[in-house]
Chain A
Amino acid sequence: MERRTLFAGWVLPAFLVAPQLAITILFFLFPAWQAFRESVRAANAFGLNTSFVGLENFAVLLGSAAYRATVLRTLIYCAAVAALAMAGGLVLAVFADREIRGRAIYRALLILPYAIAPAIASVIFTFLLQPEIGLLTHPLKLLGIDWNYALNGGQAFALVILIGAWKQVAYNFIFYLAGLQSIPRALIEAAALDGARGFTRFRTIVWPLLTPTTFFLIVVNVVYAAFDTFSLIFALTGGGPGTATETLVVKVYRDGVINLDLGGSAAQSVILMALIVGLTAIQFRFVGRRVTT
């Protein structure tokens, strides 16, 4: 859609877009270009200068079992976080949509985690589940679980999934609640008159009408789990023990900033950019559909 009435001239608008364009070029486009350039270069034996190596960095990366393991781990992580956070958000939204007393208070409580920094969420959960002093550590031991996420990779992975989902439920709750509220009441009442009750009514009427919201949230949750969880994972485990909680973004940081493998890290950045371009393209398809309806 475009406007019909406009203001004349091009000097003023050029000034108006200049600040954002300058920052975009300097801190987004130029670094992205640099990542592309680095990704096809490698340091020579003495590490003094770099030379063009074509796609060798990518070949090394994709040929490495460690990288493939990290890709698989990230996929599992995204699926688990998205599934947990979306199911939690949906269930809570369905009940918060009912006309009950105190629902304003429930809603306020349920959107609270949105405001908490992922790294801070990790600190709070460290306090709860720290192997020696954690409040929940002792009860877990009584249940026969030898809880120590600093040593046990499986436990560490489960914990970063839980915290990732804990943070994201609020977001899904907000969107599902908005989706539910946009369903005309008359439709629900008509279904009720036809004798559709409880879960049947949800399955046959409500859930199909929430499909656009669900598709939108799948993309948003996968992007969140893949990219925005760096700080919660890094603050909790640093990617460890070993590589048990190392997702793709954690690996970019570990390889690039800690191990200073610039070419390899740049190649990983390029792969992540390709991934996010794909996810954004999918999102825009659904966004487009949303806007027109």
Chain B
Amino acid sequence: MRRGPDYLAHAVLALGGAIFVLPIWVAFAGATQSAGAIARGDLSLLPRLSGLRAFVAVLGFGPAASGGTPIGHMLLVSFGMAMAIALGKIAISALSAYAIVFFRFPGRRIAFWMILITLMLPVEVRIIPTYAVMADFHLINTFTGLTMPLIASATATLLFRQVFIAIPDEMVEAAKLDGAGPIRFFFDMVLPVSAANLAALFVILFVYGWNQYLWPLLAVTNGNLETIVLGIARMITTDQLTAWNLVMAATIWAILPPVAVVLLMQRWFVRGLTEADK
């Protein structure tokens, strides 16, 4: 039925792709130019090969707005935060969903509803009281304080609940006949059959953790725990003095890990996202 290439589809998709990729390309090209040329409004869209060094140099650069903490250090903090949030959420959500699906215990319904309610309480709406709790526990400016309040996740618990409910009863019965207890069943059967969901969830939660802005802005006032997203946002506050080539080099570093995780795990991620939110 098709006659020749579908030019209209190519045109629309190429235009869409350009709108999303060009800004990132400009950031990449900008990183390789001299700060002076950018300040003059003299930006070339072709990257300067000799300017590629900026990507290495920026790792050791410590912006004054973040108390001189080097960009490389911020990347490590962000990586630690993203991993702690992703793995922490997966761990506590998988365990609580397992308890809620495979056991009948007093308060089970209440526990489920309490977890569900966290869906309705994003950080943005409980800024001050959450900060007050953190201050009471002396968790401001600690890695625990940076990650812990972001670890509870109703979305992950709901997804695991759906996956666990779908595990056939015959599998549980067979395991019981073999004398497997709930802990062995969890590690030998439940985790392996949920592997694809775990991978998908990891992508979504890693991106979520890496991209946090508001909570680190409140929970950290000390350069040692500065995240890369916050550090870069702070660099652009004093417009005239901004070293734009360095900001853009840091920006490319900041988008690389989440973009790599999404692209490399694209198949699981897309499936996981459409399933997780349903």
The answer to whether B111 touches A133 (Cβ under 8 A) is: no
The answer to whether A100 touches B129 (Cβ under 8 A) is: no
The answer to whether B10 touches A100 (Cβ under 8 A) is: yes
Residue of B nearest to A24 (CB): B152
How many residues of chain A have a CB within 8 Å of chain B?
105
Q: Per-residue CB proximity of A98-126 to B under 8 Å, as 1/0?
A: 11111100111111111111111011111
How many residues of chain B have a CB within 8 Å of chain A?
102
Asked if B176 lies at the interface with its beta carbon under 8 angstroms from chain A, I say yes
A127 contact from B101, B115, B212, B244, Cβ within 8 A: B244
Segment of A54-62, A152-160, A249-257 in the binding face? A249-257
Question: A98-B9, A273-B121, A277-B120 given as contacts; is B270 within 8 A of A111 (CB)?
Answer: yes
Residue of B nearest to A277 (CB): B120
Residues 69-123 of A contacting B (Cβ, < 8 Å)? 88, 91-92, 95-96, 98-103, 106-120, 122-123
* Alpha-carbon distance between A133 and B165 when the two chains are bound, in angstroms: 56
* Alpha-carbon distance between A98 and B9 when the two chains are bound, in angstroms: 8
Question: How far, in Å, is B30 (CB) from chain A's closest CB?
Answer: 6
The answer to whether A6 touches B114 (Cβ under 8 A) is: no
* Alpha-carbon distance between A17 and B21 when the two chains are bound, in angstroms: 43
Residue of A nearest to B100 (CB): A17
Which residues of chain A have C-beta atoms less than 8 A from B17's C-beta? 106, 109-110
Which residues of chain A have C-beta atoms less than 8 A from B126's C-beta? 28, 31-32, 35, 269, 273
Which residues of chain B have C-beta atoms less than 8 A from A290's C-beta? 278
Asked if B178 lies at the interface with its beta carbon under 8 angstroms from chain A, I say no
Which residues of chain A have C-beta atoms less than 8 A from B114's C-beta? 21, 24-25, 29
Segment of B53-61, B69-77, B192-200, B259-267 in the binding face? B259-267
The answer to whether B278 touches A287 (Cβ under 8 A) is: yes
The answer to whether A27 touches B169 (Cβ under 8 A) is: no
Segment of A43-51, A170-178, A202-210 in the binding face? A170-178
Asked if A191 lies at the interface with its beta carbon under 8 angstroms from chain B, I say no
Q: Per-residue CB proximity of B230-245 to A under 8 Å, as 1/0?
A: 1011001001000010
Which residues of chain B have C-beta atoms less than 8 A from A111's C-beta? 262, 266, 270
Asked if A282 lies at the interface with its beta carbon under 8 angstroms from chain B, I say no
Which residues of chain A have C-beta atoms less than 8 A from B172's C-beta? 3, 5-6
Residue of B nearest to A256 (CB): B128
The answer to whether B251 touches A120 (Cβ under 8 A) is: yes
Residue of B nearest to A89 (CB): B16
The answer to whether A5 touches B233 (Cβ under 8 A) is: no
* Alpha-carbon distance between A119 and B105 when the two chains are bound, in angstroms: 43
The answer to whether B96 touches A19 (Cβ under 8 A) is: yes
Q: Per-residue CB proximity of B163-174 to A under 8 Å, as 1/0?
A: 001000100110
Question: A178-B274, A266-B128 given as contacts; is B118 within 8 A of A4 (CB)?
Answer: no
* Alpha-carbon distance between A19 and B275 when the two chains are bound, in angstroms: 25
B127 contact from A7, A134, A252, Cβ within 8 A: A252
Which residues of chain A have C-beta atoms less than 8 A from B187's C-beta? none
Residue of B nearest to A171 (CB): B273
Question: How far, in Å, is B189 (CB) from chain A's closest CB?
Answer: 12
The answer to whether A27 touches B251 (Cβ under 8 A) is: no
17 further A-B pairs in the complex, CB-CB below 8 A; given A7-B182, A135-B43, A252-B125? A6-B104, A9-B182, A13-B102, A23-B151, A27-B149, A30-B129, A31-B126, A95-B8, A96-B13, A107-B266, A112-B259, A120-B229, A123-B232, A133-B40, A135-B26, A216-B277, A228-B122
Interchain residue pairs with CB less than 8 A apart (7): A6-B103, A124-B26, A178-B274, A253-B214, A273-B120, A273-B126, A276-B122
Which residues of B are in contact with A by a Cβ distance under 8 Å? 2, 5-6, 8-10, 12-14, 16-17, 19-21, 23-24, 26-27, 30, 38-41, 43, 91-93, 95-96, 98-106, 108, 111, 114-115, 117-122, 124-133, 148-149, 151-152, 157, 165, 169, 172-173, 176, 181-183, 185, 207, 210-214, 218, 229-230, 232-233, 236, 239, 244, 247-248, 251, 254-255, 258-259, 261-263, 266, 270, 273-274, 277-278
Which residues of A are in contact with B by a Cβ distance under 8 Å? 1-10, 12-14, 16-17, 19-21, 23-35, 38, 88, 91-92, 95-96, 98-103, 106-120, 122-128, 130, 132-135, 137-138, 150, 166, 169-171, 174-175, 178, 216, 220, 227-228, 230-231, 234-235, 249, 252-253, 256-257, 262, 265-266, 269, 272-273, 276-277, 280, 287, 290-291
